[in-house]
Amino acid sequence: MSTAPARTYKDAIDALNTLQSNAAVLEAVRAIGLLNPHAIPEMIDYLRRVDLEPSQLNDLNVIHITGTKGKGSASAFTDSILRTARPGWKTGLYTSPHLVAVRERIRINGEPLSEEDFARYFFEVWDLLQKNTKRETVTAPFMPNYFRFLTLMAFYTFKQLKVDAAILEVGIGGRSDSTNIVPKPVVTGITALGYDHTRILGEKLSQIANQKAGIYKASISVHNCGLPPPHHSIRHVFCLAGAHQRSNAALAVQLAHMFLTITDRSYSHMSDPNTTVPASTPQSRSVIEPLRSLPTSFLDGLKNAHWPGRCQTVLDPQQEGTKWFLDGAHTKESLECCLEWFVSPAIGLPDSPVSEGHPIRVLIFNCTSGRSGDEFLKAILQKIEEQLTKYGSPEKKEDFFAKVIFCSNVTYTSGNFKSDLTSVAMSTTDDAHLKTQREIEAAWNLLVATYSGTVHVLPTIEDAVREARKTPNVNVLVTGSLHLVGGVIEVAGLADIALSPKA
């Protein structure tokens, strides 16, 4: 008797990619400027077709995190703190986007699903959707789109594996976000807000805040980003990562503290030797006081957190003397934080202003269509100038980078993407003519009219990596897009180092 061949991880990714929305569809949505008013009923419909009810998601003990900047980092910090504070627990972490492999988006105890487990749960969800055809909402397509499917798969996987806590990062994060069907998260948190996806979420910060606040549910503990006093321990751990990571870490500390207080009767931060709160202080679970100092387990969780592609330094395994500085900053504010990190002593600056022989610097940058490359470059240059002044450097912002490379998100010179990095959301016309990259180049030339270095507009990430490696003893800053950062990790052969928490 013959049996059908087992469906592989590649089969899963190929099937998943058929659910992507193409560039024309996405542009139409942006042009309308409205979120789908039927999104939540449609998502609940899909959930029921994989044999789950919304009320069952409450069993996952959800920590729901939204915001514009740093929500992925805050989610990763929270997960790491919980795993350190409660090593016997099983945690689930759902984030987006991925850097190199789709399976990075769904993690169990900090580790991405294996290829085998990803394929298994992917096709279980796929087959249930194919089998259960009854739909209550007539507006819903038969199959969910890419992000909706992965969200369903995360819920399904976490239920199957019986996680003790599930940390969910929103997608775009509006009231219609696919993750927002959890009726009662244990706690919710919001990171710093900024202007991103404005055509969908609103042009004003108040409109964006209104959308992001859609994850808040009645009687649920809520916390926003902010450094709990005293915050010297967090500042020490993240002194080189900039204020944005300290803020994300602070939010994670408060979320983990509230979550443990609510869900774990054995939890008491006062029993930790690093805590200075008097043992006689009463603790009420109805009114949860923020932490005033860090328990040792929380501090260890922050130190051991691994979140690749964010303020990360990787030595090039193929070319001695080359360092890659990776930070997927995709908003103006995030780019400012990125440059605050990079333009500092022992990172992108010499240890002292009079040091000699410091590596030259290369910038690899891109942004997707619809984002303001001109404003992004202004933010980069202004922050460079501020940092050079701060550290007394005689360098000029105009000559800080010896080489500037603008490239598309296409992975390889063959024109192909790695399957996990395939994106039909990118306009093929825009890509073929490098329209966005040429616009960024023009903006750079206007902003840095006296630039003495070289500017390159290249069609692929592979071309960009090759160009950067032409120069020995170089520090390469890669920023502007997480898709770009992921592509560089893939093409430059950095994955074994960059993605492994043990490297």
**Do the Cβ atoms of 109 and 163 come closer than 8 Å?**
no
Taking Cα atoms as reference points, which of 161, 187, 145, 160 lies closest to residue 43? 145
Is residue 483 part of an annotated ligand binding site? no
| Interatomic CA distance for residues 63 and 168, integer angstroms | 6
Residue 96 assigned to a binding site: yes
Q: How many CB atoms lie under 10 A from the CB of residue 350?
A: 16
496 is in an annotated binding site: no
Q: What is 238-268 written as a DSSP string?
A: TTTT-HHHHHHHHHHHHHHHHHHHHH-TT--
119: its two tokens: 């394929």
**Sheet strands side by side (includes 221-224):** 111-112, 106-108, 91-94, 165-169, 62-66, 187-190, 221-224
For residue 460, give both structure tokens.
């692929």
Report which of 52, 177, 176 is spatially closest to residue 168, judged by C-alpha positions: 177
What is the rounded CA–CA span in Å between residue 254 and residue 259? 8
310 assigned to a ligand binding site: yes
Q: Please, what's the largest Cα pairwise distance for the chain?
A: 77
Q: Name every residue whose Cβ is closer than 8 Å to that of residue 380 and which is 6 or more positions away in sequence.
A: 335, 339, 363, 365
Which residue type sits at 424?
Answer: V
Residue with tokens 């959308």: 211
Distance CA 293, CA 189 (A): 19
In whole angstroms, give the CA distance from residue 306 to residue 312. 10
- Closest by alpha carbon to 227, among 191, 261, 273? 191
Sign of CA dihedral 239, 376, 422, 142: positive
327 annotated ligand-binding residue: yes
189 by Cβ neighbours in 10 Å (0-12 / 13-18 / 19+) ranks as buried
Query: Which residues fall in the annotated binding site for ATP?
Result: 310, 327
Q: Which residue positions form the known binding site?
A: 96, 169, 197, 310, 327
Binding residues for Mg(2+): 96, 169, 197
